[in-house]
Structure formats: structure tokens, C-alpha cells
Amino acid sequence: MGNYFSTIFGAFTAILKGMSVTFKTMLKPATTVQYPTEKLVPYEGYRGALLFDADTCISCNLCVKACPSFCIQLENATNEAGKKIAKVKWYTIDFGKCNFCRLCEESCPTKPKSVWHSLDYEITFFKRDEMVRCWQKGFEFIGKYFDREAKEFKKPEGQVQIQTTQQRCQY
């Protein structure tokens, strides 16, 4: 008989605990975001799409060496004599291979960083060519892709950019 009442008492206290959590949550304001019309801005440490600044890059190849996925390619610029100079001619990142580990950003010696993660989380690709982003001097931070059918560089279309550039790390 004592076991019966202890079971009832245990179930009753469990219901009271559950109802207290329900009532506490019910009185708090809703945190739902109406997604297509409202966007959340991620926290500062979020690793979104990689962006590149060709003007800041010194073409040291440290980001290429630090990348475990081998998704970064870099071509040094040359002067009239054919000697390499501390500027980048082409910089390419394959987002299909990138695992967003941030090692390229950490290895970059420039201040501000020439390669960094943005806060964009809605980067879209409609075909394989769009996953390989290319940069050279004069290109925007988001880069362009080479369309093999049209044989020209195109700006990526259909992307909703939350923040085109973020404050780059000064360290």
C-alpha cells in the first residue's frame, strides 16, 4: 500500500515540475524570427563565407600551406622582368572542398587580414562553377566565378548577403 502512494506522489511531483517549466516558458517573450523577411545576425565567432582582399594580400602563400583541404590556390604577380613581387595576381578558393576551419585566416600575416570569414550564412551555388571563387585586383570581396560555357568571369547571382564585409581582425 505504501508503494502505491509513493508512486502516485512521484508522478504528481513530476507533473508539477513539468508544468512549472511550461508556465515559466509561456510567460517569456517569443524569440521566433519570420525567416524570409527577418534575418538573424550570427555571433562574432561565426565562420561564414570566406572573403578576400587582393589589395591587402602580400602573396606569401601561408594560407595555401595552412589549408588542410587544399582548396586555396594563389598565383603571384610578376614585374616586367618576370620576377615575383609581393602582390597577388589570382587567388582562388573552392567552397566545395573548404571545411571552414579558419586556418587560412589565422595564418595570414597582414593587418588587416587579407582572407577572413564573413557573417554570411546564405551563400548559394546553382552549379559547380559557382563554388570556385576567384579574385584579382579590382574584384569585390565576394569574388567572381568563371563560367566555362560563356568563357567569362561572372558575379554570383541569387545570393542574399547579410553583411558584405565584417570588421576584419587587426591582430
Write out pLDDT tens, residues 73-127: 998 888 888 888 888 888 899 988 999 899 999 999 998 888 888 877 777 788 8
Q: Which CATH architecture has domain 50-154?
A: 2-Layer Sandwich (3.30)
Q: What mean pLDDT, rounded, does the chain reach?
A: 83
CA-derived radius of gyration, the chain:
25
Q: How confident is the model at residue 12 (pLDDT cuts 50, 70, 90)?
A: very high
Task: For residues 15-40, give the mean pLDDT.
Answer: 84
Whether pLDDT at 19 is above 90: yes
Cα–Cα distances in Å, from 111 out to 39, 63, 127? 30, 14, 34
Place of cell 586555396: 72
**In the predicted model, is pLDDT for residue 56 greater than 50?**
yes
The number of CA neighbours under 13 Å toward the Cβ of 112 is 13
